[in-house]
Amino acid sequence: MAETKKYWKGLEELSDSPVVQVLRENEFASELPVDRFLADDKSMNSSATSRRDFLKFLGFSTAAAALAACEAPVVESIPYVVKPDNLVPGVPSYYASTYFDGVDFASILVKSREGRPIKIEPNAQALINGSTNARIQASVLSLYDTQRLKKPLVDGAEADWSALDRKVSDSIRSATASGKSVVLLSSTVNSPTYLAMLEEIRSTVANFRHVSYDALSVSGKLDACEKMTGMRALPVYSLADAQMIVGVDADFLNEANGQSLTADYGKGRKPSAEMLRHVQFESVMSLTGANADKRFRILPSQRAAVLSALYNAIARRAGQQGVKETALEAELAKSVAKTAEELWNHRGRSLVLAGGGDYTSEMLALGISRLLENFGSTLTFKYRNQLRTGDESALQGLVNDLKAGSVGVLILDRCNPVYDRPEMAEALSKAGLLVSLSEHLDESASMAGAVAPAHHFLEDWCDHQPVQGYFAMQQPVIRPLFDTRSTLESVDRWFGLGGKSALGRVKDHWLNGRFAGNVDRWNEFVHDGVFVAFDEIMALAEPSASTDPTLMDGLTFSSAGAQGLELAVYTKAGMGTGRLANNPWLQEFPDPITRTSWDNYLTISASDAKEIGLENTTQSNGALNGSRVRITTAQGKVLDMVPVLIQPGQAKGSVGLAVGYGRTKAGKVGDGVGVNAFALLTGAEAQQQFLSGVKIEPVEGEHEFACVQLHHTMMGRDIVREVSLGDFLNKPAKDGGLGWNERTEFETYAGPMNADKVNLWKDFDHTTGHFWNLSIDLNSCIGCGACVIACHAENNVPVVGKDEIRRSRDMHWLRIDRYFSSEMTEEVAEEQSLGAIEKFRLMEDPSENPQVVFQPVMCQHCNHAPCETVCPVAATSHSAEGLNHMAYNRCIGTRYCANNCPYKVRRFNWFLYHDNQEQFDINYAMNDDLGRMVLNPDVTVRSRGVMEKCSMCVQRTQYAKLEAKKAGRMLKDGDAVTACAQACDTGALVFGDANDAESKIAAAKKNDRMYYLLDEVGTQPSVFYQVKVRNNA
Amino acid sequence: MHYEAPVREPLVLGNKSYHDVTVEVAKPIETAPPRSWWIAFSISLLLFLWGVGNILYTIGYGIGTWGLNKTVGWAWDITNFVWWVGIGHAGTLISAVLLLFRQKWRMAINRSAEAMTIFSVIQAALFPGIHMGRIWLAYFVFPIPNQFGSLWVNFNSPLLWDVFAISTYFSVSLVFWYTGLIPDFAMLRDRAVRPVQKHIYGILSFGWGGKAKHWQRFEEVSLVLAGLATPLVLSVHTIVSMDFATSVIPGWHTTIFPPYFVAGAIFSGFAMVQTLLIIMRKMFKMEHYITIQHIEMMNIIIMVTGSIVGVAYITELFIAWYSGVEYEQYAFLNRATGPYWWAYWSMMTCNVFSPQFMWFKKLRTNLIFTFIISIVVNIGMWFERFVIIVTSLHRDYLPSSWTMFAPTSVDIAIYLGTIGFFFVLFLLYARTFPVIAQAELKTILKSSGEEQKKHHSEHDGHH
């Protein structure tokens, strides 16, 4: 309808000339046919780039450049394609497992981060050995030992598993065919699955037998137990029920036949009227002897004599017949009689432990226990102890067979006879085929024709039965790092048992056996790591002790008084029998008694040393040197170049030498460290663990020790406070200056004031929020050093090597100071009216038989910290939670803080310890890629030139706080615990928030025994100590 | 107005005219160095380079190359630091304090004493730097604005005070020294014949024209700087002593330290001036300027300060006993009778006993004896710092940490290196700078018309 009337704009339009038509068409831009244009290769190639194209290209390239710049370089990190459900980066997982290397046994929790096991922690659910000692704490590092066997070896050359299996099974077959025997030699085995498998083999291979032995044999003890109870098993001790313990050469705190007594010992030593009394008779100053209330020095050969004297004294009281007795010195006889009297007063609640592994001592100890009616209370045979089952006579039989050439195949499992039974080396070479199941190419494995590399225990499945009715599960926490194989699997293959995997075999054993197909119970066992067959235990009865009147006959007493000295072999807390000799943490661990690392040595009394002309000298840089000797035994065995360390408390006429050192094929770390004491032992001497008639002659040269504590006494200072039990019970702690635990007071214008009140500083407010405190009970601390290694592992503390330790540059954040008492005291000096110079000179010398105290010292987290004020860059500062922090990034390394620390707990990175191939090439702990896997990702690895120190495991408290926050609850006591407190099974270390009135730490802080170290300096530490109470009745 | 009693010995001997002074001061600069200079310079340079090498080695590998350990965190490093700072004290004392006290005798020695100050403070300043574990972060000690948030230095730390004290002292000393040098540089410029030399001295002399206004400004600036420098003489070593005095370590925690350190510093500084000047006056034949009287004066100061130091030592012992603090008592007993007894008794012998010889005029005017004592004093003062630092640290509170210290070759090399560096600087200075403040010295020349005539007639007689 609309009229299409058209208005033209000019005459040109009206005329509609071609020019107008073109102009009209071009008035609005038509869409460019980009697609067609781009698709047309020909025109693309021929056409020049237009402005629009240019802009497009510009836009594209700008965007591309911008995007490229956003991209961070990714260095060899591969994210999970499918993330495992139970693995959250940054969150640790814990797996229950079990450690058993034939010597130490423990139920443990393994802390794993991003798939890497990084820390061993005690399993609180365990009823037996749920605690970790230094060796077990350190065992995780051995997983990352680069010198482990990586491939099977056949005749010394790398081979694949099938070749090895073929060779071994062929040999077994041919041995069987030719009537030769097939023997599996191992250390103590207590795995039900393993033992069942051996049983299975025995049923199919008639000439198969299993022989087990213990590096430090207790075969004689087992014989004694067998005679006493008819059961070849050691007793299980229940120290918790004892009020008195007597150790006769028994280092039971370090090693009690595989059973850990430390937790009960710690509990028993809590000061009260009921406090456990501990008397020790020994030759070498042991960890146990150092903790005794009363320690008597005896010669090793007097062990049986002391025990028989005790026996007779008690038998007289019990109206029973005595045994043959050898005379003791009057002084010692009196002490023994007194001890016997005390034991009699504690009958039924006492324990007498004998050292060594010989029959006589154990028989006497058991006899005493029987007289004291301790059976069934403090020691029991009810649960068959399977932690030490080695049989020396069977081993001797094997040696005879080997020499006769009747052993076709000898399989070595978790044992190293060439090292710990050097006399066997020759016999071993006579085996048709020697097969080794070993983690390292050790002394024995390197003799073997076939070496089957075994898993590290954290890679392997196994189960354990330490005592009857009590089971422990060993589950792997990481895939095998190398081409290794489980022992269960290897043995299975060789004997043609069906090729079951280790897991399959263990699981079958349980599901087909005790769990009767109940997978839930299996899962629960694996989860908990422990399983107690209560039904079985309830059914067990205490075996009746033998009433045979001839029981005590036929005891053989070693004759003392032979020419020369007596040499006792012992184990050090850090090294045990040398299984973990290639572990840098353990090598660097200072022995609790001698404070010397990276060595073993002949311990000798000062008077004997003087007689022979041996000495220890301090070098100008503080390093300790010692004479060297040649040891010649009565059998003519010789050990040369043995360093000598003068040991207070060593019985005169005796010397001590630790086993576990002198390895030659342990790996780069352990090789050539110390001398091999096993080389001196033969037969009966190995049983009693000492040698008589040893000749010691000085040889040329000086040995260089790596000793971290050169000064042995407290110099009359108020460092470790000590009180007798009597005073503790009857006298007040604070009594106007006369109490046994007074605070330092200063006279001021405003009257007497405590050190923390006399200050010019503004106090931090620690009444709100958290206030992290650590209590150290000097009464419970036995100095074992589990905490030292736990701290090492938790906080990525570097290993620095022997030379650096010699230069007093140990890096341990937590050290355990050990002080010996001295004959010279303030009182004695006054009595003899000695001058100060003479007094202090004599104070430096420890007594011949000193009392020993241990004092763990770490950063005291002073609330008025001398270190904090002096740092020019404020790299060390105080937290609102009572901690003294280190900001490593800020530290420029002036070392002023370390100088000004009265406790000397600060450690400086003198070199680049975590990447120091040049100086510390043997140390894999932090120095190679594999060794670095053990590092705790929550703790910074410190660089060169930076000061470091105990952080009170701040990463743990932070983690606990965050967890509580996420869960929306308050932090509970026990949520956060430091690595040291966690590792301490005597309960000496208690950590917590002192502002939490309900906490254990708050109670400890109010304890009468609480005191601050160097209170008078006014540092107001967050760490405090509890006075040691000595039960010297 | 200055009045001088006629009985007083002239300070410059040999009836020097102004021109003689000019010529004799300029002579070492305008002539080729003698063989002995080259030998001394080469040895110093070698020592210096050896030291530099060892410093680089330390920085490359870590402080572990030194003999330090967990207990003894400072030893030769800080000993050397304090020793060099102490030596640096004499220069400022001579030029500033003696200027304020109008002690004219200072004029012959103040230039070299100040040069010694500057050079020894350079040596001293090296040590706080290289003793750091991470020297590449040394700038953290300066309160400079940064990107680390509100991260600031710790104003409580005596080490930080050190940073301020040393840098202030160094800059004030340098400016003071340079101000004094300006007219002398101008003199050298005016005498220079070689254009390059003339140009350089021209720049160094800041266009000095010798106008009355110039002299007036010169005098005023000198006085102001002297006023500024005087408290520094006391403050620097006071603050250095606070590194120790404010700590809690027995043997360090001592309130007597500030005056005791200052006295010790002056003591060692004068000893070093003696050592240097006795050689210099011999080498450059300046016996007329640096006279026995100067030597004697300085020996008296050495004797007095040495005795003050001795009193301080004995006071320390008394206070340790009197305090009743067992740690302190032991620390001092240990110094005298412990494993480092030899260091303590070296210190006592060198610092307390040896200056007592200066009571005898015959000895204090004997050049050889003075020279020996001056070296003995500096050995003693080095031991003093070693004793304070090492013997206090090596046995402090807990005997479990007690240990010993022994230097490594690197420790020794760095120390000798700084001695080399010091002498490199000093020897270069001696050949390029006017070693006597000749402009000032000319103000105390005793010249009368008679003298002048006599001089002229003698001079003419030669022709």
Q: What CATH number did the domain enclosing A856 receive?
A: 3.30.70.20
Which tokens in the block code for residue B87?
């030596």
Global pTM value: 0.89
Q: Domain span at residue A186?
A: 153-212+389-467+485-513+534-539
Q: Which amino acid is at A776?
A: I
A733 and A833 share one domain: yes
Which residue in chain B is spatially nearest to A945 when comparing CA positions?
Answer: B133
- Judged by a CB distance cut-off of 8 A, whether residue B329 touches chain A is yes
Count of positions (residues) in chain A: 1033
Which of B159, B397, B405 has the CB atom closest to A894's CB atom?
B159
Quick check: B356 and B272 in contact, CB under 8 A?
no
B158 contacts on A by Cβ (under 8 Å): 870
Last residue of a domain, one of A539, A556, A584: A539
For B323-364, write each residue's pLDDT tens digit: 888 999 999 999 999 999 999 999 999 999 999 999 999 999
8 Å CB contact of A904 and B71: yes
For B377-399, write each residue's pLDDT tens digit: 999 999 999 999 999 999 999 99
8 Å CB contact of A873 and B141: yes
- Looking at the domain assignment, is residue A435 inside a domain? yes
pLDDT below 50 — which residues of chain A?
A: none
8 Å CB contact of A870 and B64: no
A893 contacts on B by Cβ (under 8 Å): 63, 132-134
- Looking at the domain assignment, is residue A546 inside a domain? no
CA distance A521 to A524: 5
Placement of tokens 């090789």 in the chain = A671
A342 and A442 share one domain: no
Say what the pLDDT of residue A865 is.
92
Give me the residues of B, 183-222, that contact A with CB < 8 A: none
A256 and A229 share one domain: yes
8 Å CB contact of A903 and B397: yes
- Judged by a CB distance cut-off of 8 A, whether residue B449 touches chain A is no
CA torsion, points A1002, A1003, A1007, A1013, in degrees to nearest 10?
-30
- Looking at the domain assignment, is residue A713 inside a domain? no
Last residue of a domain, one of A70, A85, A106: A70
Q: Where are the domains of chain B?
A: 22-135+153-448
Mutation target to probe the A interface, by most A beta carbons within 10 A, among B398, B402, B408, B409 is: B398
Compute the mean pLDDT over every residue in chain A, rounded to the nearest whole number.
89
A1002 and A865 share one domain: yes
A866 contacts on B by Cβ (under 8 Å): 247-248
Q: In angstroms, what is the C-alpha Rg of chain B?
A: 24
Say what the pLDDT of residue A968 is.
94
A435 and A328 share one domain: no
- Looking at the domain assignment, is residue A227 inside a domain? yes
B398 contacts on A by Cβ (under 8 Å): 719, 817, 857, 902-904, 1014
* pLDDT score of B6 more than 60: no
Q: Which amino acid is at A877?
A: S
B326 contacts on A by Cβ (under 8 Å): 716-717
8 Å CB contact of B157 and A871: yes
8 Å CB contact of B163 and A900: no
A895 contacts on B by Cβ (under 8 Å): 63, 68, 73-74, 131, 133
Say what the pLDDT of residue A32 is.
63
Say what the pLDDT of residue B463 is.
44
Which of A719, A840, A873 has the CB atom closest to B330's CB atom?
A840
Q: Minimal CA–CA distance to A893: which of B74, B142, B118?
A: B74
Backbone angles phi, psi at A186, to 5 degrees: -145, 170
Mutation target to probe the B interface, by most B beta carbons within 10 A, among A619, A815, A900 is: A900
Q: Within A319-430, where are the H helices?
A: 330-345, 359-371, 392-404, 417-420, 424-428
Distances (CA, A) of A1029 to A6, A815, A941, A986, A1009: 120, 21, 39, 15, 9
- Judged by a CB distance cut-off of 8 A, whether residue A717 touches chain B is yes
Strands A462-467 and A450-453: unpaired
* pLDDT score of B8 more than 80: no
- Looking at the domain assignment, is residue A5 inside a domain? no
B248 contacts on A by Cβ (under 8 Å): 866, 900, 902, 1017, 1019
CA distance A931 to A928: 5
CA torsion, points A576, A581, A586, A592, in degrees to nearest 10?
40
A845 and A919 share one domain: yes
Higher pLDDT among residues B449 and A317, named by residue: A317
Say what the pLDDT of residue B106 is.
82
B67 contacts on A by Cβ (under 8 Å): 621, 807
Which residue in chain A is spatially nearest to B135 when comparing CA positions?
Answer: A892
Say what the pLDDT of residue A327 is.
83
- Judged by a CB distance cut-off of 8 A, whether residue A836 touches chain B is yes
Placement of tokens 């025109």 in the chain = A43
Compute the mean pLDDT over every residue in chain B, rounded to the nearest whole number.
89
DSSP string, A678-731: GGG--HHHHHHTEEEEEEEEEEEEEEEPEES----B-TT-SSS-EEEHHHHHHS
CB-based burial label for A516 (10 Å; 0-12, 13-18, 19+): exposed
Say what the pLDDT of residue A560 is.
55
A736 and A879 share one domain: yes
Could you tell me the CATH number of the domain that includes residue A456? 3.40.50.740
Say what the pLDDT of residue B4 is.
52
A894 and A965 share one domain: yes
CA distance A575 to A571: 7
Say what the pLDDT of residue A46 is.
66
Q: Within A205-300, where are the H helices?
A: 219-229, 262-268, 287-291
* pLDDT score of B287 more than 90: no
A179 and A292 share one domain: no
A909 contacts on B by Cβ (under 8 Å): 62, 133
Q: CA end-to-end span of chain B, whole Å?
A: 40
A698 and A740 share one domain: no
Say what the pLDDT of residue A79 is.
67
* pLDDT score of B450 more than 70: no
8 Å CB contact of B154 and A869: yes
- Return the bridge partners of A294, or none: A279
Contacts of B127 (CB under 8 A, 6+ apart): B77, B78, B80, B81, B84, B418
Last residue of a domain, one of A497, A524, A539: A539
* pLDDT score of B110 more than 60: yes
CA distance B350 to B15: 38
Topology of the domain comprising B22-135+153-448: Formate dehydrogenase/DMSO reductase fold (1.20.1630)
Which of B64, B140, B163 has the CB atom closest to A911's CB atom?
B64
A716 contacts on B by Cβ (under 8 Å): 326
CA distance B13 to B24: 13
Å between B408 CA and nearest CA of chain A? 9
- Judged by a CB distance cut-off of 8 A, whether residue B76 touches chain A is no
A454 and A591 share one domain: no
8 Å CB contact of A874 and B132: no
Which of A892, A904, A946 has the CB atom closest to B140's CB atom?
A892
A845 and A991 share one domain: yes
Å between A812 CA and nearest CA of chain B? 11
Mean pLDDT within B20-46: 89
- Looking at the domain assignment, is residue A82 inside a domain? no
Q: Minimal CA–CA distance to A906: which of B71, B215, B67?
A: B71
Local structure of A760: helix, strand or coil: coil
- Judged by a CB distance cut-off of 8 A, whether residue B337 touches chain A is yes
* pLDDT score of B151 more than 90: no
Could you tell me the CATH number of the domain that includes residue A327? 3.40.228.10
Query: Total structural domains in chain A?
Result: 5
8 Å CB contact of B140 and A873: yes
Quick check: B130 and B77 in contact, CB under 8 A?
yes
Give me the residues of B, 131-150, that contact A with CB < 8 A: 131-135, 137-138, 140-141
